Amino acid sequence: QVQLQESGPGLVKPSETLSLTCSVSGGSISSYYWTWIRQPPGKGLEWIGYVYYNGYTKSNPSLKSRVTISVDTSKNQFSLKLNSVTAADTAVYYCARVSGGSRSPADYWGQGTLVIVSS
């Protein structure tokens, strides 16, 4: 059974960089897409972006150039960096595995981690 676990600071100051890591267990990170999704308090899901195990990435244009998603196959992990954060970036951040190509769904999800942006 594939399991995902998000880790990282729960509190980030405005204008700084939010950094999260997703650790994958029970399966290899190879041959899959891996995605980050967030949910601001009281709002809906927002797709942040995904990374293929070979390093190919795609991100939501609404986040412009603030997003960096990377993968470390040696550690079976992938990561999210979101720079120049504001209060609007406060959300529960989920990592998930994409079951196939980019048109496939997210079939395994982490529990999510709440990140608050505040001074």
Partner 1 sequence: SYVLTQPPSVSVAPGKTAYITCGGDNLGGKSVHWYQLKPGQAPVLVINFNTDRPSGIPERVSGSNSGNTATLTISRVEAGDEADYYCQVWDSNSDHWVFGGGTKLTVL
Give the residues lining the site for partner 1 (CB under 8 A): 35, 37, 39, 44-47, 50, 58, 60-61, 94, 96, 99, 102-107, 109-112
**DSSP string across 14-43:** TTS-EEEEEEEESS-STTSEEEEEEE-TTS
Least distance (Å) from partner 1 to the CB of residue 102?
Answer: 5
Whole-number Å distance between alpha carbons of 51 and 40: 22
| Short-list 22, 8, 109, 2, CA closest to 71 | 22
Tally of residues, the chain? 119
Least distance (Å) from partner 1 to the CB of residue 104?
Answer: 7
- Of the two residues 16 and 92, which places its CB atom closer to partner 1 in the complex? 92
Phi/psi of residue 42, each to 5°? 75, 5
- Of the two residues 15 and 104, which places its CB atom closer to partner 1 in the complex? 104
- Of the two residues 10 and 61, which places its CB atom closer to partner 1 in the complex? 61
Torsion of CA 107, 108, 111, 116, to 10 degrees: -70
Least distance (Å) from partner 1 to the CB of residue 85?
Answer: 21
Least distance (Å) from partner 1 to the CB of residue 19?
Answer: 21
- Of the two residues 96 and 117, which places its CB atom closer to partner 1 in the complex? 96
